[in-house]
A and B are shown apart, each in its own frame.
Chain A
Amino acid sequence: MLSVTQASLAFGGIKALDDVSFTAASGEITAIIGPNGAGKTSLFNIISGFYKPQQGRILFDEQDITHLRADKRAELGIARTFQNIALFRGMSVLENIKLGGHTRLSTGFWSAGFFYGEARREEARLRAEIERDVIDFLELDHIRKAPVAALPYGLQKRVELGRALAMQPKVLLLDEPVAGMNREETEDMARFILDIQARWGTTILLVEHDMGMVMDISNQVVVLNFGRQIALGTPDQVQANPAVIEAYLGTSATTEATATEEPA
């Protein structure tokens, strides 16, 4: 579905990504883990088109998208959420989610300005779709008209997921969807992610520090450290990989550390 081949990205002297290659299989959940500053967000940025990798290619559905603009990639069906919530703060939950439908609608300037007619029907269709696929699905009914800026953090993250979902994406990139959430919220979020996968067969890429969640729900794990890809495999393989343990616990801990140890 989505594959990154030998991608490298440097900011001045810092190598944010160094020869990263993996393929996210269709309909599966691929987790990307690594210590802070490992390059996880940078990886998402080259996939969604904010930065162009200096080397390497990105293929989506067999199409080379390495040089495509971010908005074009969105049109192809790549959606994402951000590590630091990037909602439209001046808008309500509903309006935020409606924006997710942007690429699927066709109202242009003129029909928008005259409104009555096609634009109005399209708006109604979008609304019904969103109510069904996003608001009901993510249990946001009680806050649909609330301004997003007033919502608690966990709900904002969920709204951002909703906005991405409204794009009906083929690939969904989630950057730390449960960071800063309590256990219950984390479990909700994990459930939503699995439901998305089950209901729409969406290919999901997930950056997360919560190892419990990562190991539970992902089919494949990519481990980055200082931009380099140090491991790739199933959760079990990765957990047993000495290089990974070393990266997470430091050199001295290699021997004592067991695969079950999970940084919170």
Chain B
Amino acid sequence: MGQFIQYMINGVISGSVLALIALGIVAVFKATKVVNFAHGHLILFGAYFYFTFSVVLSEAAFMPDWIRSWDPAWLQAYAGDAAMFSPKAAIASWVSDLPRILLGLIGALAANAVLALIIERLVMRPLLGQSAFAMILSTVGLIWVLEGSAGLIWTAEAEQVPALGPNFPIRFELFDQNLFLFSGSLVNLVVALLLFASLMLVLRYTRSGVAIRATAEDQSTAYAMGINVPRVFSTAWLVASTTGAVAGAILASRNGLSPAIGLFGLSVLAVVLMGGLDSFAGVLIASMLVGILSSMAQWKLGGGVAEIVPYVAVLVVILIRPHGFMGQEEIERI
């Protein structure tokens, strides 16, 4: 029982990261009707950018010392002689990392945004109006372009990057069971869910949100109504790339920096289809489900099985409900 709850919690935490990744795929699909197979690699770039700004750049010679490691007197006083692995020590070390974490995040967001705009402008825009097949394939082509470029630019592998939040073990009791998790994971969970929720609010209540939804409903009508459709496209790609950058930072700090992040992102596509391509709610449910299932599989069957859980799950779901939990079926009038 204790184990079970423990793995449930782990599952929810990884589910929230899946949801954050899925968010980008859904946003782009809603606006542009393109399913971005390369979203995982956009995330990979986010992770590498985060590494570049928070590690490489912060250690560059021209950077002031306090960026590399902020060490004001009050922090020293606070840390005092805190024991290793104690919350206090973890928080103190996080605070001293904070400048470079922020530099990393801001840099990754900005760089990824630029990257997404370039992709949108140079690749997706010329293919506008082409078949779904061409769109899918061009994003598949992007996978290789991005992966290859990452391979050329960054040779770093399994590098350490600073986590977004302070990381210390938390022990607690639930239903009489001793459980435990890392505060870092908790921060990731909160960040992911907050981003997810706030983007849904933005979509619902802001002008550009309405524009995106209108475009999703019917592109040409939206155009006729004076909505700047190309701008909607760019906005969607911006949303995807920036949330992707955060996801990349989380993944890199959790599992280490490696090209495998791209493939992990690809597996989220399966999650998205399970939930229903155009439904944020469905995708959230699917993310949690896959997160939990993977975590359970890890517990009972080992890590290898956990990796293919999304793929098995999506096959099952597609056979039973072809358009996912909450996806809209496109009816073809004859």
Residues on A facing B (Cβ under 8 Å): 41, 45, 50, 82, 86
Interchain CA distance A64-B334 in the complex, whole Å: 23
Interchain CA distance A38-B134 in the complex, whole Å: 38
Interchain CA distance A86-B334 in the complex, whole Å: 9
* Chain B residue with the shortest CB-CB distance to A11: B331
Interchain CA distance A50-B334 in the complex, whole Å: 9
Provide the B318-334 mask, 1 if CB < 8 A to any CB of A, else 0.
00000000000000001
Q: Which residues of A contact B334 (CB under 8 A)?
A: 41, 45, 50, 82, 86
Residues on B facing A (Cβ under 8 Å): 334
* Chain B residue with the shortest CB-CB distance to A41: B334
Q: What's the minimum C-beta distance from A90 to chain B, rounded to whole angstroms? A: 12
Q: What's the minimum C-beta distance from B328 to chain A, rounded to whole angstroms? A: 14
Q: Which residues of B contact A41 (CB under 8 A)?
A: 334
Q: Which residues of B contact A45 (CB under 8 A)?
A: 334
Interchain CA distance A261-B334 in the complex, whole Å: 31
Q: What's the minimum C-beta distance from A176 to chain B, rounded to whole angstroms? A: 13
Q: What's the minimum C-beta distance from A231 to chain B, rounded to whole angstroms? A: 26
Interchain CA distance A103-B72 in the complex, whole Å: 84
Rank and list the top 5 A-B pairs by shortest CB-CB distance, nearest first: A50-B334, A45-B334, A82-B334, A41-B334, A86-B334
Q: What's the minimum C-beta distance from B130 to chain A, rounded to whole angstroms? A: 15
* Chain B residue with the shortest CB-CB distance to A42: B334
Q: Which residues of B contact A50 (CB under 8 A)?
A: 334
* Chain B residue with the shortest CB-CB distance to A44: B334
Q: What's the minimum C-beta distance from A3 to chain B, rounded to whole angstroms? A: 22
Q: What's the minimum C-beta distance from A157 to chain B, rounded to whole angstroms? A: 16
Q: What's the minimum C-beta distance from B98 to chain A, rounded to whole angstroms? A: 55
Interchain CA distance A211-B293 in the complex, whole Å: 63
Q: What's the minimum C-beta distance from A79 to chain B, rounded to whole angstroms? A: 15
Interchain CA distance A41-B334 in the complex, whole Å: 8
* Chain B residue with the shortest CB-CB distance to A86: B334
* Chain B residue with the shortest CB-CB distance to A48: B334
Q: Which residues of B contact A82 (CB under 8 A)?
A: 334
Q: Which residues of B contact A86 (CB under 8 A)?
A: 334
Q: What's the minimum C-beta distance from A213 to chain B, rounded to whole angstroms? A: 23
Q: What's the minimum C-beta distance from A140 to chain B, rounded to whole angstroms? A: 25
* Chain B residue with the shortest CB-CB distance to A45: B334
Interchain CA distance A18-B334 in the complex, whole Å: 19
* Chain B residue with the shortest CB-CB distance to A50: B334
Q: What's the minimum C-beta distance from B93 to chain A, rounded to whole angstroms? A: 59
Q: What's the minimum C-beta distance from A134 to chain B, rounded to whole angstroms? A: 23
Q: What's the minimum C-beta distance from B5 to chain A, rounded to whole angstroms? A: 43
Could you name 5 residue pairs across A and B whose Cβ atoms are closer than 8 Å? A41-B334, A45-B334, A50-B334, A82-B334, A86-B334
Q: What's the minimum C-beta distance from A86 to chain B, rounded to whole angstroms? A: 8
Interchain CA distance A241-B174 in the complex, whole Å: 78
Interchain CA distance A45-B334 in the complex, whole Å: 8
Interchain CA distance A82-B334 in the complex, whole Å: 7
Interchain CA distance A82-B332 in the complex, whole Å: 13
Interchain CA distance A50-B333 in the complex, whole Å: 10
Q: What's the minimum C-beta distance from B293 to chain A, rounded to whole angstroms? A: 34
Q: What's the minimum C-beta distance from B268 to chain A, rounded to whole angstroms? A: 33
Q: What's the minimum C-beta distance from A5 to chain B, rounded to whole angstroms? A: 23
Interchain CA distance A170-B334 in the complex, whole Å: 22
* Chain A residue with the shortest CB-CB distance to B331: A11
Q: What's the minimum C-beta distance from A173 to chain B, rounded to whole angstroms? A: 12
Q: What's the minimum C-beta distance from B292 to chain A, rounded to whole angstroms? A: 34
